[in-house]
Amino acid sequence: MKIPGIKSKDLLTVSDLSRDEIFKLFEFTTSLKKDLKRGIHHNYLTKKTLAMIFEKSSTRTRVSFETGIVQLGGYALFLSENDIQLGRGETLSDTAMVLSRYVDGIMIRTYSHNKAIDLAKNSAIPVINGLTDSFHPCQSLTDFYTIYEREKDITQTKLVYIGDGNNVANSLLLGAAILGVDIAIASPPEFSPLPEVVEEARALSSKSGAHILITDDISLAVQDAHYLYTDVWISMGMEEETEKRKKAFTGYKISLDLLKKCGKNCKVMHCLPAHRGEEIDADVMDSDNSIIFDQAENRLHVQKAIMCSLMV
């Protein structure tokens, strides 16, 4: 299958992609996934190298990117801040210009989104946002792909996110608005998604027809939900807010009782890692409604498609 092209050099947020580009990416992902299951491997990235900069630790991001590029014939370099001079004061611009002469792509998982922007601005090669405090585009694209492969028409679905209006929530909002998926975000008022992201999503939804609801009313949000999603309440780097957040999010948990208030056969999603019994009950995670581990697997397939589209 032909590798889909992406106009943007980089993938920093979901809105770097058009609706058409996302759907073509999904078609290519399906092809890669089916071929892998059949034992068919493609060398689309033969002799290509991906530098992976990690300032935040990870299970899924590291393993899926590293495994993915190897399956495509390429090679990955794991670079923690202790492995490179970035951790000792070398500027991002210098790092970007040096890596541009050595490797074929960069994935960065960091705190400030401005770091990813600066890296891309000074890099001659593609930069992929593996996560920042503001956005998580690879996760969001994976989430919508997981819905896409289950639905005849993704625009006829409603996704409900319960919990912290964090980087995942921001990226889900943008993805839903681009694709035409109805979305409701239920968070305590002080933990709602970024106002500028909500504004951008509403502007995008005027073209796609997606309905957007931002509320603190969980019962209102979950009405007719086809997919129910949550994430941890305390993200990496927010440990000092643990007690404050646990108090604020009391009641914002996915339980079997909450699931019963959703649409018939509503599926449950979580980007992992999960704190069982906190933001989601174990019996929900392990229920027949859960597609959490299908979702986790799809990080591999979607990111392979992203790397091909940007690095070939």
Reduced 3-state DSSP string for 49-115: EEEEEECCCCCHHHHHHHHHHHHCCCEEEEEECCCCHHHHCCCHHHHHHHHHCCCCEEEEECCCHHH
* Cβ pair 79, 57 in contact under 8 A: no
Q: How confident is the model at residue 3 (pLDDT cuts 50, 70, 90)?
A: very high
At 263, the pLDDT band (50, 70, 90 cuts) reads confident
Average pLDDT on 131-157 reads: 97
* Cα Rg of the chain (Å, integer): 19
Between the alpha carbon of residue 289 and those of residues 101, 221, 260, 265, 296, the distances in Å are: 47, 18, 11, 7, 15
Distance CA 93, CA 109 (A): 16
pLDDT for the residue numbered 66: 98
Whole-prediction pTM? 0.96
Active site residue 283: no
Say if residue 57's pLDDT is above 90.
Answer: no
Residue 87: its pLDDT value, please? Answer: 62
Distance CA(215)–CA(210), nearest Å, equals 16
Write down how long the chain is. 312
Q: Which helix (H) or strand (E) holds 184?
A: strand 182-186
Task: List, in order of start, the domains of the chain with CATH numbers.
Answer: 14-135+299-311 (3.40.50.1370), 151-290 (3.40.50.1370)
- The answer to whether 7 and 306 are in contact (CB under 8 A) is no
Active-site residue, selected from the candidate residues 138, 262, 266, 271: 271
Catalytic residue among 113, 226, 245, 299: 299
Structural contact between residues 164 and 249, judged by C-beta atoms closer than 8 angstroms: yes
Residue type, 69: I
Q: Which residue carries 């839903």 as its tokens?
A: 176
Quote the pLDDT of residue 240: 85
So what's the pLDDT on residue 231?
97
The first and second tokens of residue 282, run together, are 């174990």
Q: Are 103 and 51 in contact (CB under 8 A)?
A: yes
pLDDT at 82: 81
| Active-site option among 138, 231, 270, 281 | 231
Order of strands, sheet of 75-80, starting from the edge strand that comes earlier in the sequence: 75-80, 49-54, 105-109, 127-131
For residue 90, the model assigns a pLDDT of 84
Active-site annotation holder among 10, 104, 139, 245? 139
Distance CA 215, CA 56 (A): 30
Cis peptide before 137 (omega within 30 of 0): no
Q: Is 138 a catalytic residue?
A: no
Query: What average pLDDT score do residues 241-245 get?
Result: 90
* Average pLDDT value for the chain: 96
Does the annotation count 295 as an active-site position?
no
For this structure, is 38 an active site residue?
no
Report the share of the chain in percent with pLDDT over 70: 99
Q: Based on the residue annotation, tell me whether 231 is a catalytic residue of this protein.
A: yes
31 pLDDT above the threshold of 70: yes
Kindly name the residue from 10, 16, 104, 109 that is annotated as catalytic.
Answer: 109
- Report the chain's terminal Cα–Cα distance, integer Å: 14
Q: What is the mean pLDDT of residues 27-35?
A: 98
* Annotated catalytic residue 308: no
Band the pLDDT of 140: cuts 50, 70, 90.
Answer: very high
Residue indicated by tokens 């947020």: 13
Phi/psi at 225 (5° precision): -70, 135
Structure tokens at 87: 């951790």
